[in-house]
């Protein structure tokens, strides 16, 4: 078992990575929450993972799909917590992917103005990214993750055994986030070492632990995303816009989060090149890394540039401007005030539909 600490003073917590980590839940809860008398387990139908919190518990099942990440679902969860007598001294346990950990974490942050929670992520995406760092939240029709709270879990248990049943596209989604971390280890081949050596050649638990360690260090330095933590959104500005546009278009095309991040990574590289922050060789490195994780960097057919720019302008990093995390001489960093014309030109170079984008 590999334990990675997230160092946040009195809010510090362990991330345990390895085969059978979920079976440590009861002992972890006894250690970090000795006064808890009841647990609420939040999960989804079809997740073949059971946990034993070592406490009396109720299971609360939410529907499948990103569309369930809504304020309505948070209300339903909180009302269910109240009906079953959950107190502020008790604990919420999220068992599932990023949708579940985002929802359960926000419900826990809201219920009694803050109830403890523990994440047991069951997807690769959840284990390498979504379940760590305390960013919880839900979507609005106007955009992804626009309502939420910073609320750190008491522990995260990343059990590599539960990943064996993941369908292929869930693996792809997780690898999209792992590709992002390949650049956050120092930027790729010409900085700290090739992404292949730093991630792809490791065992699965080691890969997860490496990504967790990178995120933990960034979160410890900037818990509330005031500056440096924005680098964790590398590739995500376009990714979130693609996802939001998909919701608006009735779920078409089908796109997993990590798949969208892979497209967003190439977009960010091309935009950085257009702004003369990086050279052509660096752009090609992005293509190589994305392909190395068996990911596509192509925009989904029918992507409309004007729609994507509209959603990107609502991104939580933006301050009434277009803000992106872009690669550069010192690696990825936040860049504010990017011109709409440069964004549209980059999307055009990727094959986006330019109808209505003449601004």
DSSP 62-125: E-SSGGG-SHHHHHHHHHHHHHTT--TTSEEEEEESHHHHHHHHHHHHHGGG--EEEEEE-SHH
Q: What is the pTM of this model?
A: 0.87
Give 3-state DSSP helix, strand, coil % of the chain, rounded to 5.
Answer: 45, 15, 35
pLDDT of residue 193: 37
Q: Which distant-in-sequence residues (6+ apart) come within 8 Å of 287 by Cβ?
A: 266, 269, 297
Question: To which H or E segment does residue 343 belong?
Answer: helix 340-349
Query: For 41-83, what is each residue's pLDDT tens digit?
Result: 999 988 989 999 999 999 999 998 888 999 999 999 999 999 9
pLDDT of residue 141: 87
pLDDT of residue 284: 94
Evaluate if residue 300 carries a pLDDT over 60: yes
Q: Which one of the listed residues 180, 246, 257, 286 is annotated catalytic?
A: 257
* Mean pLDDT to the nearest integer, 341-345: 97
The answer to whether 142 is a known catalytic residue is no
The answer to whether 236 is a known catalytic residue is yes
Largest pairwise CA distance in the chain: 60
The answer to whether 229 is a known catalytic residue is yes
Distance of CA 308 to the CA centre of its chain: 20
Query: For 234-276, what is each residue's pLDDT tens digit?
Result: 999 999 999 888 766 655 567 889 999 999 999 999 999 999 9
Q: Which one of the listed residues 22, 210, 215, 286 is annotated catalytic?
A: 215
pLDDT of residue 164: 87
Q: Which one of the listed residues 22, 60, 69, 135 is annotated catalytic?
A: 135
Query: For 119-169, what is each residue's pLDDT tens digit?
Result: 999 999 999 999 999 999 999 988 888 999 999 999 999 999 999 888 888
State whether residue 6 is helix, strand or coil: strand
Kindly report the average pLDDT of the chain as a whole number.
Answer: 90
State whether residue 43 is helix, strand or coil: strand
Query: For 16-33, what is each residue's pLDDT tens digit?
Result: 999 999 999 999 999 999
Q: Which one of the listed residues 22, 233, 259, 317 is annotated catalytic?
A: 233
Tokens representing 161 are: 């055994």
pLDDT of residue 71: 97
Q: How far apart are CA 70 and CA 130, in angstroms?
A: 17
pLDDT of residue 250: 57
The answer to whether 154 is a known catalytic residue is no
Measured between alpha carbons, how far is residue 228 from residues 49, 246, 285, 318 in Å? Answer: 35, 29, 23, 14
* Mean pLDDT to the nearest integer, 172-188: 82
Q: Which one of the listed residues 170, 223, 225, 243 is annotated catalytic?
A: 225
Q: Which one of the listed residues 45, 83, 113, 359 is annotated catalytic?
A: 113
Q: Which one of the listed residues 69, 144, 154, 229 is annotated catalytic?
A: 229
How confident is residue 352, by pLDDT bands cut at 50, 70 and 90? very high
The answer to whether 257 is a known catalytic residue is yes
pLDDT of residue 201: 80
pLDDT of residue 197: 42
pLDDT of residue 354: 85
Lowest mean pLDDT among 79-93, 189-203, 293-307: 189-203
How confident is residue 202, by pLDDT bands cut at 50, 70 and 90? confident
Which residue, chain included where needed, has tokens 């693996």? 171
The answer to whether 319 is a known catalytic residue is no
How confident is residue 318, by pLDDT bands cut at 50, 70 and 90? low
Q: How far apart are CA 25 and CA 118, in angstroms?
A: 9
Measured between alpha carbons, how far is residue 3 from residues 17, 178, 344 in Å? Answer: 6, 19, 44
The answer to whether 135 is a known catalytic residue is yes
pLDDT of residue 198: 64
Residue 118, beta-bridge partner list: 93, 155
The answer to whether 233 is a known catalytic residue is yes
Domains in the chain, please, with CATH? 2-165 (3.40.50.1970), 168-349 (1.20.1090.10)
Q: How far apart are CA 50 and CA 108, in angstroms?
A: 20
Measured between alpha carbons, how far is residue 307 from residues 238, 248, 311, 355 in Å? Answer: 11, 10, 6, 10
Measured between alpha carbons, how far is residue 281 from residues 269, 284, 285, 326 in Å? Answer: 11, 5, 6, 15
Query: For 208-242, what is each residue's pLDDT tens digit?
Result: 999 999 999 999 999 988 788 899 999 999 999 99
Tokens representing 101 are: 């950990």
pLDDT of residue 196: 41
Evaluate if residue 37 carries a pLDDT over 50: yes
């Amino acid at each position: 078992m590999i334990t990675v600490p997230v160092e946040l003073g009195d809010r510090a917590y362990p991330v345990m990575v390895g085969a059978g980590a979920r079976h440590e839940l009861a002992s972890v809860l006894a250690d970090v929450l000795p006064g808890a008398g009841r647990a609420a387990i939040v999960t989804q139908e079809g997740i073949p993972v059971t946990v034993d919190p070592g406490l009396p518990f109720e299971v609360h099942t939410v529907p499948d799909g990103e569309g369930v990440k809504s304020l309505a679902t948070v209300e339903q969860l909180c009302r269910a917590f109240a009906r079953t007598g959950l107190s502020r001294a008790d604990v919420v346990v999220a068992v599932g992917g990023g949708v579940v950990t985002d929802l359960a974490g926000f419900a826990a942050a809201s219920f009694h103005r803050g109830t403890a929670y523990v994440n047991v992520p069951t997807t690769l995406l959840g284990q390498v990214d979504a379940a760590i760092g305390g960013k919880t939240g839900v979507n609005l029709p106007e955009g992804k993750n626009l309502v939420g709270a910073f609320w750190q879990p008491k522990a995260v248990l990343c059990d590599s055994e539960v990943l064996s049943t993941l369908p292929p596209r869930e693996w792809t989604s997780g690898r999209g986030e792992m590709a992002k971390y390949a650049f956050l280890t120092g930027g790729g081949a010409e900085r700290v070492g090739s992404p292949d050596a730093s991630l792809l050649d490791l065992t699965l638990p080691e890969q997860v632990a490496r990504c967790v360690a990178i995120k933990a260090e960034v979160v410890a330095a900037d818990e509330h995303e005031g500056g440096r933590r924005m680098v964790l959104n590398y590739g995500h500005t376009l990714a979130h816009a693609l996802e939001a546009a998909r919701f608006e278009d009735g779920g078409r095309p089908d796109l997993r989060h990590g798949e969208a991040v892979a497209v967003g990574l190439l977009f960010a590289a091309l935009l950085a090149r257009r702004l003369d922050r990086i050279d052509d060789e660096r752009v090609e490195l992005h293509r190589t890394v994305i392909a190395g994780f068996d990911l596509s960097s192509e925009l989904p057919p029918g992507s409309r540039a004007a729609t994507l720019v509209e959603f990107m302008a609502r991104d939580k990093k933006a301050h009434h401007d277009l803000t992106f995390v872009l690669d550069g001489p010192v690696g990825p960093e936040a860049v504010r005030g990017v011109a709409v014309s440069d964004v549209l030109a980059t999307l055009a170079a990727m094959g986006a539909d330019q109808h209505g984008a003449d601004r």
